[in-house]
Amino acid sequence: SGFPSQMRNSLAKLGVPRELLELLFSWVESDEDYPKIPTAKGSIRAVQSEAFFIPLYELFLTYGGIFRLTFGPKSFLIVSDPSITKHILRENSKAYSKGILAEILDFVMGKGLIPADGEIWRVRRRAIVPALHMKYVAAMINLFGQATERLCQKLNAAAFDGEDVEMESLFSRLTLDIIGKAVFNYDFDSLTNDTGIIEAVYTVLREAEDRSVAPIPFWEIPIWKDISPKQKKVSAALKFVNDTLDDLIAICKRMVDEEELQFHEEYMNEQDPSILHFLLASGDDVSSKQLRDDLMTLLIAGHETSAAVLTWTFYLLSKEPRVVAKLQEEVDSILGDRFPTIEDVKKLKYATRVINESLRLYPQPPVLIRRSLENDVLGGYPIKRGEDIFISLWNLHRSPKHWENADKFEPERWPLDGPNPNEVNQNFSYLPFGGGPRKCVGDMFATYETVVALAMLVRRFNFQMALGAPEVNMTTGATIHTTDGLKMTVTRRMKPPIVPVLDTPALEVDKSDGVSEKDP
Ligand code: HEM
């Protein structure tokens, strides 16, 4: 074997330590037996100035399903291939951690379920997944309806006054109201109020997003933290949110102590079905930072993602009147003006396909982040421990190799009588909720939430892009945002007079509904 090996042997004989030799020769030697990963050079500016997953799509078309992107001394592996994705997320998931993501989110999520790795993650996943049982999700459907009703009232007033509305911020408030009740039984009521706590939550969220796209971690510079007005504001907001969380935990703990319910698998307090209540009843430690970290994680995970899904769904619908007409026909005949029940939601199959397809075109988040904990082989290329990896859901979901008319919004691509598309039946070409042991714990929750909101809104209103609305462009934080909002004109719909009757509301559990691999 060639020159590098001879060189290495000679150096070893001269007494150069083995560790140093391995470091020196690692990349040279891997060249000998293996093909080298294609490499693209990036400019930091390209990544900063626009939604960074857009240039990655062009590079994917040029370099393929795995390539290395270098910025000066730093490099990332960009993965856009289904089988490599499946390998990282499922087959060899133990060899990967959340890497950079955990570093960025530490200030707000600590060791919460999204950034956590290893044993902490395993223990917390086991504690939290059971809280989202079927009875809980069914109870949430009612909450989704009530929260959407408040949004409808707001839109009604705007329609009456002939005022355009900015839907992105309204969706953000809708999903904040929902997740606050769902996670810790707190009513932000952000659709009608603008209290300090709401501003604090948004300050923290914006900071998390800013950090996730910042080229250098300036917030780690010791003095900066104390003198930067922005960092001071973030610390104050974070303290406010944490204090509020502590109060909510205390209130909930009192309720748990006073109730006579026995804890069991589908345990749920009707007055307070929240995840927090479940966790405390199951014996979670009230005073722990871990509990707070997990609550904060659930709040953020369940808020921005669902809001972004609704925003992009309504954007897509504004360009496809055909889809809207079909959607309204389905909603009219199945739901009418009732608040949806779980039975209704299961029957709203076209509405579900609209959400499935929106998640294909605008995955939230558009990339998943991992770091290799050991050497591995990806797509035939050897990689070292410590590689930072971006799995581009955007590229996977728009790959011309796997999708016909990849860029077209076509809910019909999945037949109504077929299974709900997920990473398993689409073999990792489509994975809006991730896959493997780290798959989203809120997939059912989020699907039902967005279907309920979509159905109730299109039943009552017609939405169009407002005249003179800013062009809709993308920017990224953790999820895909618009650059200048989604300004729409809302008009009340002339509805057909059919109001279907409620049929037997039996709560049968449909285990085939796109859920898989929930437990580690
Ligand atoms: C994880 C998407 C809603 C809680 C994830 C992941 C994705 C995702 C792609 C995997 C991240 C990774 O592998 O790096 C979404 C989307 C949502 C949504 C698109 C809305 C449409 C929710 C909701 C909740 C939630 C409503 C909570 C009620 C979580 C948690 C994790 C997670 C806790 C981390 C799971 C773990 O690492 O074990 N989500 N999510 N998500 N999601 Fe969601």
Pick the closest to residue 133 from 286, 311, 268 (CA basis): 268
Position 32 scores a pLDDT of: 55
Best residue among 296, 305, 354, 444 to mutate for probing ligand 1's pocket (most ligand atoms within 8 Å of CB) is 305
Position 127 scores a pLDDT of: 95
Given a contact cutoff of 8 angstroms between Cβ atoms, the answer to whether 188 and 197 are in contact is yes
Q: Count of CB atoms within 10 A of residue 338's CB?
A: 15
Q: Burial code of 341-376, b = ≥16 C-beta within 10 A, e = fewer?
A: bbbbbbbbbbbbbbbbbbbbbbbbbbbbbbbbbeeb
Position 520 scores a pLDDT of: 42
At residue 503, the 3 state secondary structure works out as: coil
Q: Which amino acid is at 60?
A: F
Position 515 scores a pLDDT of: 44
Best residue among 440, 447, 450, 515 to mutate for probing ligand 1's pocket (most ligand atoms within 8 Å of CB) is 440
Length, in residues, of the chain:
520
Q: Enter the ipTM.
A: 0.99
- Please give the distance, rounded to the nearest whole angstrom, from the Cα atom of residue 306 to the centre of ligand 1: 10
- Take residue 460 and report the two structure tokens written for it: 């009552």
Q: Is 435 in the pocket of ligand 1 (CB under 6 A)?
A: no
Separation of first and last alpha carbons in the chain: 43
CA atoms within 13 A on the CB side of 34: 16
- Please give the distance, rounded to the nearest whole angstrom, from the Cα atom of residue 301 to the centre of ligand 1: 6
Q: Is 433 in the pocket of ligand 1 (CB under 6 A)?
A: yes
Digitized pLDDT (tens) for each residue of the chain, 520 residues in all = 466 677 777 877 788 777 777 777 665 655 556 788 999 876 655 555 568 889 899 999 999 999 999 877 788 999 999 999 999 999 999 999 999 889 888 989 999 999 999 999 999 999 999 999 999 999 999 999 999 999 999 999 999 999 999 999 999 999 999 999 999 999 999 998 888 888 898 899 888 888 877 766 777 777 777 778 888 899 999 999 999 999 999 999 999 999 888 888 889 998 999 999 999 999 988 778 999 999 999 999 999 999 999 999 999 999 999 999 999 999 999 998 889 999 999 999 999 999 999 999 999 999 999 999 999 999 999 999 999 999 999 999 999 999 999 999 999 999 999 999 999 999 999 999 999 999 999 999 999 999 999 999 999 999 999 999 999 999 887 899 999 999 999 999 987 655 566 555 545 444 444 444 444 4
| Nearest atom (ligand 1) to Cα of 112 | 33
- Please give the distance, rounded to the nearest whole angstrom, from the Cα atom of residue 98 to the centre of ligand 1: 13
Q: Is 176 in the pocket of ligand 1 (CB under 6 A)?
A: no
- Please give the distance, rounded to the nearest whole angstrom, from the Cα atom of residue 69 to the centre of ligand 1: 26
